[in-house]
Amino acid sequence: MVTVTQQKCACADCVCIVDVDSAVKKAGRNYCSDDCAEGHPKGAGCEHTGCVCHG
C-alpha cells in the first residue's frame, strides 16, 4: 500500500507541491494557499518563490 503525503497544488497554473495534511482544502481538492483555493479573485498569486500562478 502506498500513502500519498504530497501532491501538486490543484490550481492549474500553480507549480507548488503541498503536504496533503496541511494543504488548504476546498471541494475535496488540495491547494497551497487561500488565493489558489479561491481562484485568485483579486489576481494575486500564491506568492511562493518560483511560482507565477495568478489563476
Q: DSSP class of residue 39?
A: T
Give how many domains the chain has, as a whole number: 1
Contact 33, 24 (CB under 8 A): yes
Chain segment 2-52, per-residue pLDDT in tens? 999 999 999 999 999 999 999 999 999 999 999 999 999 888 899 899 998
- Closest by CA to 48, choosing from 26, 21, 16, is 16
Which of 15-54 are b and which e, b meaning 16 or more Cβ less than 10 Å from the residue's Cβ? Answer: ebebeeeebbeeeeebbbbebbbeebeeeebbebeebebe
pTM listed for this prediction: 0.89
CATH code for position 15: 2.30.170.10
The boundaries of the domain holding residue 49 are 1-55
